[in-house]
Amino acid sequence: MILKKMFIDGKWVDAKNGQTRTIINPFNQEEIATVAEGDQSDAIAAIVAARQAFDQGDWPNTPVTERASIVQKIAELIERDKEELAELESLDTGKTVEESRVDMDDIAGVFRYYAEIGDKNGGEIIPSPVPNSVSKVVHEPVGVCGQITPWNYPLLQASWKLAPALVTGNTLVMKPSEITPLTTVKVFELIEEAGVPAGVANLVLGAGHSVGAELSTNVDVDLISFTGGIETGKKIMQAASVNVKKIALELGGKNPNVVFSDADFETAVDQAMNAVFFHAGQICSAGTRLIIEESIHDEFVKALVERVKNIKLGSGFDEDTQMGPLISAEHLAKVESYVETGIKEGAKLVLGGKRPEDPALQNGFFYLPTIFTDCTTNMSIVQDEAFGPIITVEKFQTEEEAIKLANDSIYGLAGGVWTNDIVKAERCVAKMRMGTVWINEFNLYFPHAPWGGFKQSGIGRELGKLGLEEYTETKHIFHNLDPKPINWFGK
């Protein structure tokens, strides 16, 4: 089995400690790759390379059109190698290969989008109150960026960070999740092929407590961007205070999906399934809190159960598979514990709640699609992010109650409203405290629109123009065209 290495200062290298990690397929626990397992020393080496490339290299001062051309080249290479990348992603995560193909199209689109808008952020002339002067605002790269990505959408989340960082002239050190690094390694091969100079983009593989911690605390890192769990995000935020780094945190959500009685019933049922069981619920924006108007509650739940119980579990490479496994044994145990808690809290388990009995699935980390009813917001299963194939159902009678329930969370990433009354829909979304709110839709995103959350779902935005601005510093330049002595203290 070929060892996948790290990429530091333009070279593919082993971990300094000689350690490796075995990557497994969550469908059957088959070993699919061996990768270098770096630690703090490797992170430091990568930071030194990135620092030197930024402070002494040409990349920050390379014309933005040239940087954009390279980012565009990366998009083209991703499209060229789409099938290889999709297969790697499905082997790594267990998701269906069709999902992974869609991801690769989206990832290429992210690089292409930032290549297109990279030169649209050049600054502006602003009015000056001083005669014979020019005042302007410019946007410059932040510097060395530490980037930490999650296991659920390894390459998609990486693209949200890589593309804007590169096009704006930063240098970077990326740490992917240690359990799903394969597509990120492949894309760094494409980054090298596209002509990104040595030291500009560095890849360190390893655990968060060593590599991630160094990126967070090292004073030579100017920005830390993290996507992952809320507790880790809090630690990174504290660690980043050492040198008051810029921070960008996307920390998940517990997302409400509100269905009014006047919604298109069949579409809402279908989308309620898609909102949760796509990628086995391992999506930060999954609509796991289904909030249904009481008058249609029973009928809606009945229809939902009938459809959900037919979801086919299996290998991501089987064309009939609709849902793959969870990512690991540890995560499976977490989801099982979550369900046990829900039962103890008094929620009614109406479907699932266990591992499948199919012998063909016993070697994988599978969990049946699960539905709880009779849920209330004082239950931990309604408040805590399960990150699994679980729907909790709440009910409401009035519009005001629906909004109160939707907002009753420490999170504020995303939410949805289903109704054919557009005025009511607009009233609702105006009051929902979330970074993205969909009307008669769920889990749709595209590169042009910003992504991020309110409250404890994070700080900052990725994607869109705001995602580009995260990787820049704003500078005001004042030029006096006719300087004269002030004589404030006399001649």
Sign of CA dihedral 469, 472, 473, 476: negative
Question: Helices 294-308 and 265-277: crossing angle, nearest 10°?
Answer: 60
Alpha helices in 118-212 (DSSP H): 154-167, 182-194
Nearest to 46 by CA among 215, 216, 222, 202: 202
Structure tokens at 335: 């989801």
Local structure of 116: helix, strand or coil: helix
**Could you confirm whether 250 is annotated as catalytic?**
yes
Catalytically annotated residue among 37, 89, 214, 250: 250
DSSP one-letter code for 206: B
Q: Are 53 and 198 in contact (CB under 8 A)?
A: yes
Alpha carbon 5 to chain centroid distance? 24
Local structure of 134: helix, strand or coil: strand
Alpha helices in 324-417 (DSSP H): 329-345, 380-383, 399-407
Q: Are 150 and 157 in contact (CB under 8 A)?
A: yes
Residues 123 and 81: their CA atoms lie apart, in Å, by 36
Sign of CA dihedral 101, 103, 106, 112: negative
Cβ burial, residue 386 (10 Å; 0-12/13-18/19+)? buried
DSSP one-letter code for 197: P
Q: Which amino acid is at 202?
A: N
Structure tokens at 198: 């040595």
Residues 171 and 262: their CA atoms lie apart, in Å, by 51
Q: Which amino acid is at 357?
A: E
Sign of CA dihedral 47, 48, 49, 52: positive
Which sequence positions are flagged as catalytic? Answer: 250
